[in-house]
Amino acid sequence: MMKYLEKPITYKEQAEILRERGLVAEPQELEGILSSIDYFRLKGYISSFQPSKKSNIIQPNTTLKSVLALYKFDKELRILIFEAISEIEIALRSRLTYEFVHLYGEAGYTKHSNLPNFSKYKYNFFLSDLKQRTKNSTEDFVTSSKKYYKDEVLPLWMMAELMDMGNVVNFYMATKHKIRRGVAAYFNLPSSVNLKNDVFYSWLKTLLTVRNQCAHHSRFWNKGLTRTPQTLHQKKYPEWHIGDKINYRRSGFVLFMCRHLLKHVLPPSDWHIKVEKLFSDYPKIPLHEMGLPKNWQKHTLWKSL
């Protein structure tokens, strides 16, 4: 087994290390912060104030206040991202259910042939998970419906309400292209017979990963995307290729993904206004670390329809 060379150190010792590296902070205040925000987590925000990744030295005049401002910005950004993805998830669930039941009926999801992109094993697991969710649910509509539906098989419009986002994204993936195409079109995005080329599916996978990161309070604001969304073709979607480019591999691109998708969700969302206010409240955020151009709010993609 690997032996760890580092030993646990006290809050006071942690504070001394950060101050020795150049962080401007009162010792007691910094110790108090470290007792609430883990040293390792705080270091992730301090890294933005280090001239070199190879060195632990913090750039001159970096204050604890400036580090905490970045920490608070990231926290509020994660809340807004989670809010946007939640709205998108609800709209996706609704549209996907609508398309599916009008083609296969209320219990069409219980036939493997209607979800051809699931392997037999994954289909059985998917169905088993839904049955377990039904069994464990305390929702009023489930309790009353069990009197009328046998074997815990609910109509899809009820079952969909028990799905988490992972279930919904997998359900979208498993359906035939006719259904995927209809759902993607609702959000003004293309789909493809080949899932590897399905733009909307790639966006959903990205948003699912981001949602989980935000739910687990992981630092998000300046991270690269672990799942890179596909870009839109310039000929059909020229608005995505004009003006200053947004780096689709960085966190800032998620803002534009959410903005685009929420434009097609009703009732109209004021989410983008909240995002603009957040950046206004924290004007010193280094936008380049998010992959955003300086005047990103004036981009055609960000403006209202």
Q: Closest by alpha carbon to 291, among 194, 223, 205, 190?
A: 223
Residue 53 structure tokens: 């990744």
Strand partners, 118: none
Average pLDDT value for residue range 217-245: 91
User: Phi/psi zone of residue 61: left (φ > 0), alpha (ψ -120 to 50 degrees), beta?
Assistant: left
User: In this model, does residue 166 exceed pLDDT 80?
Assistant: yes
Nearest one of 116, 115, 101, 112 to 157, comparing CA atoms: 101
Lowest model confidence (mean pLDDT) among 15-19, 150-154, 243-247:
150-154
User: Does 176 have pLDDT greater than 70?
Assistant: yes
| Average per-residue pLDDT for the chain | 93
Query: Whose structure tokens read 């899809």?
Result: 156
> What is the C-alpha separation between 140 and 230, in angstroms, rounded?
40
Q: Residue 266: pLDDT above 60?
A: yes
Q: What number of other Cβ atoms are within 10 A of residue 93's Cβ?
A: 19
Query: Which amino acid appears at position 163 of this protein?
Result: M
Q: Say if residues 215 and 89 touch (Cβ distance below 8 Å).
A: no
φ, ψ of residue 62 in degrees (nearest 5): -80, 120
Q: Label residue 142 by pLDDT band (50, 70, 90).
A: confident
What percent of the chain is modeled with pLDDT above 70? Answer: 96
Predicted local confidence at residue 52, as pLDDT: 82
Residue pLDDT, tens place only, 119-140:
999 999 999 999 999 888 888 8
Helices assigned H by DSSP within the chain: 11-20, 27-36, 39-46, 64-104, 120-136, 140-145, 156-159, 165-174, 177-186, 199-215, 252-262, 271-281
pLDDT category of residue 152 using cuts at 50, 70 and 90? low
Q: Region 56-81: what's the mean pLDDT?
A: 97
| Range 159-179 average pLDDT | 96
pLDDT of residue 225: 94
pLDDT band at 100; cut points 50, 70, 90: very high
Q: Is the per-residue pLDDT at 199 higher than 90?
A: yes
Residue 267: how many other CB atoms lie within 10 Å: 6
Q: What confidence category does residue 12 fall into, taking pLDDT thresholds of 50, 70 and 90?
A: very high
| Cα dihedral: 145, 151, 157, 161 (round 10) | 80
pLDDT above 90: percentage of residues in the chain: 82
